[in-house]
Structure formats: structure tokens, C-alpha cells
Amino acid sequence: MLSPAQKELAAIRLSNRLVGGTITVVSSQYRSQHRNREAARVRLGRLVAAAIVPERTRRKTRPSKASQRRQQEAKKARSSLKQSRRGSWD
């Protein structure tokens, strides 16, 4: 079973599937009603399991020296290209 915190998290993340406070899952994959209900239960289990996984925190990263150098070189090349287009109107 789910803890209250997990239930709340699942409700927030699956809010687009909530109808009157109930998660709605539909399956018409099989001809048999029984098999469709089982398929819907499996889908519901997967949805809830995916919804209660905690988000991973983002680790801050910095650009490498080489990438910074490439960016500066690209900016200088672009700048020189634009400067070469400038001409006198004489």
C-alpha cells in the first residue's frame, strides 16, 4: 500500500487522469472484459509506480575549458564576419 505522502504525490502527478478524485484507466486491448480489466490493473500499477518515484535533484555543472574556448572562438569568427560586411558608403 501507499503512504499518505505517496498518495498525494501520485494524485498531483496523475491529476490529468483524475475524474472525481478517482484515477481513470481504460483498456480495450482484448475482446474479453476480464482480460481488459486485468490489463487496466497492470497499467494502473505501472502508472502509480512511475508517479511515486522521487525526482532526482539536478547537480550543477560548469562548462569545460575547451567548450568555453570553442564558444569564444565561434563568437570571434561571427564578429569578424559581421565586421567584414561593414563598408564605407563612399
Q: Is residue 38 part of a domain?
A: yes
Indicate if the pLDDT at residue 32 is higher than 90: yes
- Element (DSSP H or E) covering residue 55: none
Instruction: Provide the whole-model pTM.
Output: 0.57
Q: Is residue 12 part of a domain?
A: yes
Residue 90 is predicted with a pLDDT of 64
Residue 74 is predicted with a pLDDT of 97
Range of the domain at 46: 4-51
Q: Is residue 77 part of a domain?
A: no
- CA-to-CA distance for 34 and 36, rounded, in angstroms? 5
pLDDT digits (tens, 9 = 90+) for 48-86: 999 999 889 999 999 999 999 999 999 999 999 999 998
Rounded-to-10 torsion of CA 27, 31, 33, 37? -30
Q: Is residue 40 part of a domain?
A: yes
Q: Is residue 45 part of a domain?
A: yes
Domain count, the chain: 1
Q: Is residue 64 part of a domain?
A: no
